[in-house]
Structure 1
C-alpha cells in the first residue's frame, strides 16, 4: 500500500493497464478526421444512413463505408437495417461527447496558452519546462 502524500493532498488512483489500453484503442479508432466527423454527425442526428453521411460529408460512399467499418469494429457504432438501408447510430452517446469536447477544445484558443512548467515530482525527477528536448 502506498502512503498518502505528507502535504495532505490525495492522489488519484492508478489506472489499470488494461483500462489505459482500452482508452488507447478507443482514441485510435477515432483518430481520423472522417471518423470524428461521422461521430459528430451521429451525435447531432441520432442516426444516419450511409447516403445521408455521404451527402453530409461530401465524401465518396466507399470511403464513408470504410470508416464506418472501423467504427463498427471498435464497437462505437452499430447499424440497424431498415428496409433497403442501414442506419448507423452511436452505441454509447458518451463517445460522441468525447469527440464534441475535443472539437470544442481545438475551436478556441486556450487562456494563457503556452508551455506549462512541471515542478519536481518529489521522486527526484528534474522539473520540465516543456521546452527541453527529450
Structure 2
C-alpha cells in the first residue's frame, strides 16, 4: 500500500492558507499557452470535441488530449461522451474570466510611465 508523504514545514515558515494553495494550483493548471487557448475556445464556443480543438489550434491530437487531461484533472473542464466523441466544456465561467483578465493584462505596456 502506498502512502503520500506531506513535507513538514521549514522552521520559521508559515503554512499556506487553503484558498491560496487552491488558487496557486488553478494558476498552475492554466500556466500553458495551449491550455489558455483551449479555455478561450471553450468559452467562445460552449463545447468542442478534440478534433475541433485540434483543427482550431493547429496542433497534434495527442498534445490537445494531454492538455485536456491537465485541465480535467484540475477540475476546470469536463467531458460528456456523445457517441464516439467527447464534448469538452468549461466547468464554470470563472476560469474563462481569469484567462481573459490575464490576456488583457499581458496586452498592457510593461514600460514604466514617463516622468511627469
2:112 is matched with which residue? 114
**TM-score normalized by structure 2?**
0.80
C-alpha separation in 2, matches of 1:108 and 1:26: 23
Bigger relative contact order (CA 8 A; separation at least 6): 2
Query: What secondary structure, in the 3-state scheme, does the structure 2 residue paired with 1:79 have?
Result: strand
Query: What secondary structure, in the 3-state scheme, does the structure 2 residue paired with 1:35 have?
Result: helix
Aligned length: 98
* 1:1-134 equivalence runs, <5 A: 17-109=17-109, 113-114=111-112
| Pairwise CA distance, 1:104 | 1.5
Larger radius of gyration: 1
Q: Runs of at least 4 residues of structure 1 off by over 6 A? A: none
Question: Which is helix-richer, 1 or 2?
Answer: 2
| Pairwise CA distance, 1:52 | 0.3
C-alpha separation in 2, matches of 1:54 and 1:83: 19
Q: Per-residue CA shift, 1:47-70, capped at 9, x if unaligned?
A: 100000000000000000000000
Q: Per-residue CA shift, 1:90-122, capped at 9, x if unaligned?
A: 001110110011111112326xx428xxxxxxx
1:131 is matched with which residue? none
**TM-score normalized by structure 1?**
0.70
